[in-house]
Amino acid sequence: MRLHRLLLLPMLAATFLYPAAVTAQSIESPIEFHAALNTAVGKAKDLPIVGIPTYATFDYRTAMLQIRYKMNEHDQFVLQLLNRRLGNSPLQAAIPDVSMQWAYWQRRGSIGALKVGRAPMPRGIFNEIRFVGTVLPFFRPSFEIYGEGRETIDGAVFTRRQPLGRGVSFDISAFGGSNEVRTQVVTATGNSIRAFRGNNLKGVQGWLNLPFGETRVGGFYADYHINSDTARGTRGEILYSAESRLIPRTVVRGEALRVYGIGPNQDRKSYSTEAVATITEKFDLSAQYSMTDNRIFQRAPLLNVNVTATKDVAFGGTYRIGGGALVRLEHHRVKGYAFDRFVPLLTNVAGQPVIAPPSSGSYWLGSFAVSF
């Protein structure tokens, strides 16, 4: 990890200091460099959440460096290094500062494109671009849908676009392999960090692209086998997504996720909806509502617990300052049990365990993002 960090930081510095040279090179050279930085200052009120403490932290960012080598018209090799800091998040212990996020060979042919190696998992609207701050309405896509720490697939991804006529097309991605899963889970006794590999992973992501308002609707399914110290079995995920620009100067998105099976011993259902209004070419306003309902399975004689783990209402404004850079300010109001500090999920009433009232907190994030 130390070697990665030593390599990444000077390379990032060089690409940001000399973007013109790199861009000029990219037109003629088979090697292309791209980089993205999404760095923030955050402060929470009442309770720490998603790594943001009740005092301000600047230790909050993602930085990427992508290198592409175009071997010929059909083949390329892509490497991407990622530096991710999540403030005081307990998840940070399970996520390396610097990681080789992608390393894959890609071949494009007449029937589609094949990626082999460590590649982005085609999952929902944002997974493949989740660290590119310049294309996100908030610092990160909905935490309830995307979480942190499970973005890639080690294996193969095949993607094909099939025109269906009259401006309608269908994109299908099929993948198989294994992946890393790192999640922060609310349980009856506290927050738990789970880090393991999902093996025998297989899944699909389909998108139906419609000819009006750049509208598309999609579905994702994946299942994988967990074989860790604490769990053994199969977990499944289903994600429905929709995105539309039917309303002028506005993007509306909605996603619904279900995670079930072994591992968390939960049936988790998360929802997120957001709207982004382009006020001027430089300024956007964004609103987002996300929530997660958990059904936590417990061993007898304890009863299963149904609980709304999180509700997150967010508002934000983005100003594009030019040169591929922007600044963003966002505010999140969070209610539930998924905070970085333990809040009780159960309480005793007349000797019987019952669901405790949800706790409330809020946080601000001011961020700067640039990419090229």
Partner 1 sequence: MRKFLSLITCCAALLAFAPNAHAQGDFKIVVNAGNPISEMSASDVAGLFMKKVGKFPGGGPATPVDQAKNSAIRGAFARAALGRPASAVDSYWQQQIFAGGELPPAAKASDDEVIAFVKATPGGIGYVSAGASLAGVKVVTVK
* Residues near partner 1, by CB under 8 A: 27, 32, 34, 36, 64, 66, 68, 78, 80, 102, 104, 106, 115, 119-120, 128-129, 131-132, 134-135, 161, 167, 278-283, 285, 315, 317, 319-320, 322, 324, 329, 331, 333, 362, 371
CA dihedral 331, 333, 338, 340 (to 10 degrees): 50
Q: Which is nearer to partner 1, 68 or 258 (CB)?
A: 68
Angle among Cα 285, 291, 293 to the nearest 5 degrees reads 170
Q: Which is nearer to partner 1, 94 or 242 (CB)?
A: 242
Q: Which residue has tokens 């007898």?
A: 300
- Residue 99's SS3 state is strand
Residue 332: which of 22, 33, 52 has the closest Cα? 52
List Cβ neighbours of 180 (8 Å cut-off, separation of 6 or more): 149, 150, 152, 195, 196, 197, 198
Integer angstrom CA distances of residue 223 from 175, 204, 220: 11, 10, 10
- Least separation in angstroms between residue 115's CB and partner 1 is 7
Residue appearing with tokens 């620009």? 245
Q: Which is nearer to partner 1, 159 or 265 (CB)?
A: 159
CB of 302 to partner 1, least distance (A): 38
Closest CB 85 distance from partner 1, rounded Å: 19
With H, G, I as helix, E, B as strand and everything else as coil, classify residue 8: helix
Q: Which of 261, 268, 283, 33 is nearest to 137 (CA)?
A: 283
In the complex, least distance from residue 288 CB atom to partner 1, rounded to whole angstroms = 14
Question: Whose Cβ is closer to partner 1: residue 3's or residue 27's?
Answer: 27
Find where tokens 């609707």 sit: 217
Q: Which residue has the tokens 């294309």?
A: 135
C-beta closer to partner 1: residue 173 or 191: 173
Nearer to partner 1, 127 or 266 (CB): 127
| Minimum distance of partner 1 from residue 66's CB (angstroms) | 7
User: Which amino acid is it at 111?
Assistant: I
The DSSP code for 264 is: T
Cα–Cα distance for residue pair 316/79, rounded to 1 Å = 32
Nearer to partner 1, 215 or 228 (CB): 215
Please, what is the minimum distance in Å from the beta carbon of residue 244 to partner 1?
14
Q: How far is the CB of 283 from partner 1 (least distance, A)?
A: 4
Work out how close the CB of 181 gets to partner 1 at its nearest, in angstroms, rounded to a whole number. Answer: 21
Identify which of residues 104 and 139 has a Cβ nearer to partner 1 in the complex.
104
Q: Are 224 and 179 in contact (CB under 8 A)?
A: yes
